[in-house]
Structure formats: C-alpha cells, structure tokens
Structure 1
Amino acid sequence: MNNITKDDVVEAENKLFLARLANHVDLLDQLLDDNLTAVAPTGELLTKEMDLNSHKSKTIVIEDAFREIDQISLFGDATLSIAP
C-alpha cells in the first residue's frame, strides 16, 4: 500500500491541470492511468485513448479554467478527487 497523502493528490491534480491547459499530449500520456475512465462535461465516458486523441486532434481546447477540489478520498493506492 502506498502512503499517498492529500497533498500528493493536489500536486498531481495541479500537474494534470497544467498539462491539459497547455494541451501537452506527451505529458498527459505519462500522467493519465492506462485504465482511465473520465466523465466529459457532456456526460460521455472517456478512456485514456479517447482523451489523448481529443487533445491531439484539438477537439478539446481549454482556453481558460479554474481548478478547485471539493473533496479528496483516499482508498489504499487509489484516490478520488471531486471538483465542483
């Protein structure tokens, strides 16, 4: 079991946020788990491949955003962060 702290999660979320904002596909590939399942703003479920492809094709372009985490839950070596 890893000793992941909430500060570690915030740091990782910040790196991910900045990579998304910069559309840095190579860094996103390193940061995102291969088993990623994410929920898009449209409600669509995305895999890592779908997410990376949307950044590569510039289907998703983030011009401005705010980052805020309402809740972080730690489950052994897995975490859940919830944004507003």
Structure 2
Amino acid sequence: MSNVWFVALVPAATILTPALVGCLTALQISRTLTRTWSTTFNIMASKLDAAAQSQPSEPTPAVSTPQAGGRHSARQARRPR
C-alpha cells in the first residue's frame, strides 16, 4: 500500500517542487527589489529636500491678466463688395 502513495507522490513532487522553488525565488527577488528601490527613493527624497532647503525661496512673479483691446480683439465683419 505504501508503494501506491510513493507512486502518486513522485509526479506531484516533481511538478510542485520547481514551481514552489520558482515562487519562493520570485518572492525573494521581489522583496530585494522593493527594499533596494525603497532605499534609493528615500535617498533621492532626502537629497531633494536638502537641495530645496538650501536654496533661497524666490518670489513668484504675479501673473498678468490679458488686456482687452489690441489689434485682433474686436474683429469687425467684412463689408460686402
């Protein structure tokens, strides 16, 4: 009877073991990349914060509103010939 279980488990183990190893490897790679990118972005963010704080803030110029008038402001209809 134990021989039947062995015959049934060998194909399942042959199929599932590489799949399990592949999933665990992908999970480990994902965790490593996440940690690496998280560290990289934290360093970039701290450098940007330091650069923003070291530069004096410049006043933003006031946005002027378009003036009415001018050459093309009020187009007149053409006169019939």
Q: TM-score range by the shorter chain?
A: under 0.3
Q: Which of 1 and 2 has greater Rg?
A: 2
TM-score normalised according to structure 2 size: 0.24
Identify, as 1 or 2, the structure richer in strand: 1
Normalization by structure 1: what TM-score? 0.23
The structure with the greater share of residues assigned to helix is 2
* Bigger RCO (CA 8 Å, 6+ sep): 1
